[in-house]
Amino acid sequence: MEWGGAQVLFFGLMKEAKNFGEVVAIMPAGSNKQLLKFLDNLKVRYEFVDSHLDAKPALTLKRKLERHWNKFFDELSFIRYLNKLDLKNNVVHTEFAPWQSFILLRWLCSKTQVFVTMHNSLPPVPRWRYFQWRIKFWLLTRSKNFHIFTANKDTKENLRMLVPPASFDKIKVIYANINPEEVEEALTDKLNRAEICRKYNLPKDKFMVFCVGQFIDRKGRWIFLGAAKKLLQKNHDIAFVWISNSKPSAEDLKKAESYGLGENFTLITSDQVGTEHIDLFKLMRLADVFALPSYLEGLPISIIEAMALGIPTISTDINAIPEAVKHLETGLLIEPGNSEALTNAVELLKSDANLRKKLSENGREYVLEKFNEKVVAKIAVENYIAALRYESE
């Protein structure tokens, strides 16, 4: 229903796959309108299933049962929809999770070649649940039609004990990635700082700290605002911007206001930014520093994009983030949940122009080499084609 790094990864795969055949995106009715505009720009046809997963919190037993019931009917709707299609000689690349959507994926494997992408390491769970997950993975990987991609090495390593050794060796890493041409276009366009600041009501003469991502706890939103509050107590020439791909609730906005940041904090939703991804890049160019203090992540596309744009980047030393952010080489790493550490990191970059320049240049060079959209998409499409050849033999 929303969009983020997973969908950006799919955009790159779709562009490459279109060179070999027709691409169709199948999504829940009511999907984010900006996502649909991106697909229109890619000239990718999309269809809707009149159902979507219930992602609301389940804090009571009643709500948990209700969510499981809704999930069953949601997946049944997808099965009914897909069953109308001729899936032979096709590939289905899906975001359905193996440990949650076992029945749907088993059914799909009986019809066609199935690829799933896993973006994050699985969370710690009780032994009984882990054992249950392991059985599901082993049963799925027994099918020659089931294939796994991971969006980073950390997530792949997390699967080592969940899948048979032969299946583990076949898992391909397709990193979150950037389109170098799009980045270059954004960087070569003349930056009218005053005009962009006026459009988004941002101060044009302050040191800017940006974050891009859903405005949720997992992304470290209160750590970000806590650091902002501390920094503004002794720095009046600094401002903070959070770009979210969904609109925060009234309760979240009220809590954000309680930090007393006033005009020095601006929350922008992605639908205010524009209909093309490059519009986001042009806005991000205002940033002097990018900071994402997440608690749990795969490898966020926002970090990759910030580094590609040459923005000195701060993030947390968790999961796959160190695969891109090398401390004091391509960026700064801090421990999660520590607003003081984020405060110190921002202060360090603000006071040291040489360090900012070093991280900007190194980070940009590293990302353009390792996280190129075309390279990543080629790996995926080659695997699609190999799977179809194997099926036809």
- Domain ranges in the chain? 5-177+373-392, 180-370
> Is-same-fold flag (5-177+373-392; 180-370)?
yes
DSSP secondary structure code for residue 146 in this structure = E
Residue 34, token pair as written in the block? 């900006």
pLDDT of residue 378 exceeding 70, the answer is: yes
Q: Which residue has the higher pLDDT, 57 or 354?
A: 354
Q: Collapsing DSSP states into helix, strand and coil, what is residue 150?
A: strand
Task: Provide mean pLDDT across the span 239-256.
Answer: 93
Tell me the per-residue pLDDT of 47-75, one tens digit each, with 9 for 90 and over.
Answer: 999 888 777 777 788 888 888 888 888 89
Q: Which residues pair with 331 in a beta bridge?
A: 327
What's the confidence (pLDDT) of residue 393?
64
> For a pLDDT cut of 70, what percent of the chain falls above it?
99
Q: What is the DSSP string of 203-239?
A: -TTSEEEEEES-SSGGGTHHHHHHHHHHHHTT-SSEE
pLDDT of residue 292 exceeding 70, the answer is: yes
- Regarding the domain with residue range 180-370, which homologous superfamily does it belong to in the CATH classification? Glycogen Phosphorylase B; (3.40.50.2000)
Residue 48, token pair as written in the block? 């809707």
Classify 5-177+373-392 by CATH class. alpha beta
Task: Provide mean pLDDT across the span 30-54.
Answer: 89
pLDDT of residue 77 exceeding 80, the answer is: yes
pTM of the model: 0.85
Rounded CA separation 59/374 (Å): 42
Q: Collapsing DSSP states into helix, strand and coil, what is residue 94?
A: strand
Instruction: Tell me the pLDDT of the chain averaged across its residues.
Output: 92
246 falls in which pLDDT band (50, 70, 90)? confident
- Give φ, ψ of 226 to 5 degrees: -65, -40
Q: Where are the alpha helices (DSSP H) in the chain?
A: 5-17, 33-42, 61-83, 102-109, 127-141, 153-158, 165-170, 180-188, 193-200, 221-232, 250-257, 277-284, 301-308, 339-351, 353-370, 373-392
DSSP secondary structure code for residue 178 in this structure = B
Q: What is the DSSP string of 278-312?
A: HHHHHHHTT-SEEEE--SS-S--HHHHHHHHTT--
What's the confidence (pLDDT) of residue 106?
96
C-alpha torsion angle, residues 221, 226, 227, 230 (rounded to 10): 160
Rounded CA separation 70/58 (Å): 12
pLDDT-wise least confident of 157-161, 165-169, 324-328, 370-374: 370-374
pLDDT-wise least confident of 184-193, 257-266, 329-338: 184-193
Count of beta carbons in the 10 Å neighbourhood of residue 26? 15
392 falls in which pLDDT band (50, 70, 90)? low
Rounded CA separation 153/158 (Å): 9
Contacts 24+ apart (CB under 8 A), 254-262: 255/222, 256/221, 256/225, 259/225, 259/226, 259/228, 259/229, 260/229, 261/225, 261/228, 261/229, 261/232
Tell me the per-residue pLDDT of 175-212, one tens digit each, with 9 for 90 and over.
Answer: 888 888 889 999 998 888 899 999 999 998 999 999 99
Is 8:95 a contact under the CB 8 Å cutoff? no
pLDDT of residue 224 exceeding 90, the answer is: yes
Task: Provide mean pLDDT across the span 367-378.
Answer: 90
Residue closest to 293 by CA, chosen among 273, 321, 266: 321
Rounded CA separation 35/276 (Å): 10
Cα 215-332-243 angle, rounded to 5 deg = 20
